[in-house]
Chains A and B, each alone.
Chain A
């Protein structure tokens, strides 16, 4: 009898616990109703990509030495480096360079390993075309400067999360001149100098 009553007791306690969890869940969902939507209304508002964003690859024809490191380092050996050996000057002559963005995975290996820094990644991501062959960029198309989101007057450009000022989570209403959270390198150095003793500063200076 006592056993049965204990079972009933624990059963009722579990039921109350479950309903308490449910109620907590509903209050969370209800709380979300009063928050502003995080929607970025795409064609009228666009997010500004970050500095290290891996968008379309930019290529400088004049800096390339046709070493083909980018091809070897690419996971799918994508860049097509069209060079011939010039017998008079005993040098490689680069005729054409192309990357097919229909196949590129934008991993950035080629950019990282290029010895002459002729490859870099831009913030362009809107590469859609009507025909996939138009995605095969030759060296002229790769050399074009990227178009910036902020340069389009019909688009309201919004800052990403990491560029927002301290305590702000929503990019819609802040003015563009507000600085982002965190310190610039000069400010970090000033802070280091002011908070450390002179001895540690001279040690860190001698270690450089």
Chain B
């Protein structure tokens, strides 16, 4: 689908007709996709917070929010507003520069990683050639922010919490990267668009989850550990270390942590769906449907429908994974810090290495199935 609707081209042509040069038109175009994705991320967070509270309530046989807006849908906005108007407390003798910079360093890489999330063939901010690697690199900035928050709180429990959170974050990055490496080896490209395109040749039958089942499980566990979701939420568990590195934070800085946690969860779910569940692909490939119906795939009407279908499929897959994450939160007990690090280094790392080896072997043996 290389011809057909191209919004950027139409926008540039309109501006050129007004006398603007093409470079300036390109620069003026740039904020629009970013703004749309940012709005989508924030709305996604609001939906996720609402879903989390309602699904957690249903799993515990209670009702959850129901008075803030119909069915409680305005509850996350109420939470956000409350955090916005709270007093911003900085503890005495705390290092105020590091204290303020900690949450910023935790949040910014997560939002920046939305650069590479594709909702369709051309529906992403920028098709960076090293897409998925950029995400892994950006997520490695998070431990620095956690250490800064823990240290700058001038609170020994926060310090311990920050150290544990950083240890957790670092130790689960390696199996994460190795399972991504297996997928990338099959795809021969680091770009997220290429990864999805390679998966959609036969609809649901060619999604990576069938070719990389171990990798899927390893990636999902590591993604949950990076997001600090139960069973790996030791740093922010209420019973352990009060609230870990987040103890001394109030008001807007706490809101940054809270927001970051949920944006990270949605981002991880989207990346799992991109890497393993076929991204924007419908279970039956759209080309097959349009061939059966004898409609050429380049008409604008069909392109709009295909794009909408792609966006809906991506969001559906991502929210299925978010649902599983919320169910897991109320199913599993919390993992202790030594068990957590054991799991990361002694279980997931060897398994992801074995997975990589297996994928490499299968790629050499059966190149037509495992990506020549």
B327 A38 Cβ-Cβ under 8 A: no
Identify which of A25, A33, A38 contacts B55 (C-beta below 8 A): A33
| Nearest-neighbor residue (CB-CB) of A19 within chain B | B217
Could you say which of A28, A30, A37 contacts B61, with CB atoms under 8 Å apart? A37
Q: Is the CB of B62 within 8 A of A39?
A: yes
> Which of B55, B61, B331: most chain A Cβ within 10 A?
B331
Contact (Cβ within 8 A) B58 A33: yes
> What is the 8 Å Cβ interface bit string for chain B, positions 49-63, against chain A (1 contact, 0 not)?
000000101111111
Inter-chain contact A26/B61, CB cutoff 8 Å: no
Q: Closest CB of chain B to A26's CB: distance in Å?
A: 5
Q: Chain B: how many interface residues by the 8 Å CB criterion?
A: 16
B63 pairs with A22, CB closer than 8 A: no
The digit string for A1-43, where 1 denotes a CB below 8 A from any CB of B, is: 0000000000000010001001001101110110111110000
Contacts of A22 in B (CB 8 A): 331-332
**Nearest Cβ in chain B — how far from A23, in angstroms?**
10
Q: How far does the Cβ of A11 sit from chain B's closest Cβ, in whole Å? A: 9
Is B63 a contact of A37 with CB atoms below 8 Å?
yes
**Mask: chain B, 323-366; 1 = CB below 8 Å from A; 0 = not:** 01001101110000000000000010000000000000000000
Task: Quote the shortest CB–CB distance from B125 to chain A (angstroms).
Answer: 35
Residue of A nearest to B60 (CB): A32
Using CB atoms, name the residue of chain B closest to A38: B61
| Contacting residues, chain B, for A36 (C-beta < 8 A) | 61
**Cα distance A32–B58 in the bound complex, in angstroms:** 7
By beta carbon, the residue of chain A nearest B329 is A29
Which residue of the partner chain, among B57, B62, B331, contacts A25 with CB atoms under 8 Å?
B331
Contact yes or no, B63 A32, CB < 8 A: no
Residues A33 and B59 in contact, CB atoms below 8 Å apart: yes
- Contact of A28 with B55 at beta-carbon distance under 8 Å, contacts A37-B63, A38-B62 already known: no
Structural contact, A37 and B331, CB atoms closer than 8 A: no
Q: How far is the CB of A12 from chain B (nearest CB, A)?
A: 10
Within 8 A of A (CB), among B48-104: 55, 57-63
On chain A, the residues within 8 Å of B63 by CB distance are 37, 39
The one of B59, B217, B328, B347 that contacts A32, using a Cβ cutoff of 8 Å: B59
Contact between A32 and B61 (Cβ–Cβ < 8 Å)? Answer: yes
A30 and B327 within 8 A (CB): yes
CA distance A25 to B328 in the complex (A): 8
> In whole angstroms, how far apart are the Cα atoms of A119 and B332 in the complex?
50
Q: Which of A19, A29, A38, A39 contacts B59 (CB 8 A)?
A: A29
- A19–B61 Cα gap in the complex (Å)? 25
Complex: A19 Cα to B343 Cα, angstroms:
14
For the complex of A and B, 7 pairs with smallest distance between CB atoms:
A25-B331, A29-B331, A33-B58, A29-B327, A37-B63, A32-B59, A39-B63
Further 8 A-B residue pairs, CB within 8 A, beyond A29-B59, A32-B58 = A19-B217, A26-B324, A26-B327, A29-B327, A29-B331, A32-B60, A39-B62, A39-B63
Residues of B that sit less than 8 Å from A by CB: 55, 57-63, 217, 324, 327-328, 330-332, 347
Could you list 19 examples of A-B contacts with CB < 8 Å? A15-B347, A19-B217, A22-B331, A22-B332, A25-B331, A25-B332, A26-B327, A26-B328, A29-B59, A29-B327, A32-B58, A32-B59, A33-B58, A35-B61, A36-B61, A37-B57, A37-B58, A38-B62, A39-B62
- Contact surface of A with B, Cβ cutoff 8 Å: 15, 19, 22, 25-26, 28-30, 32-33, 35-39
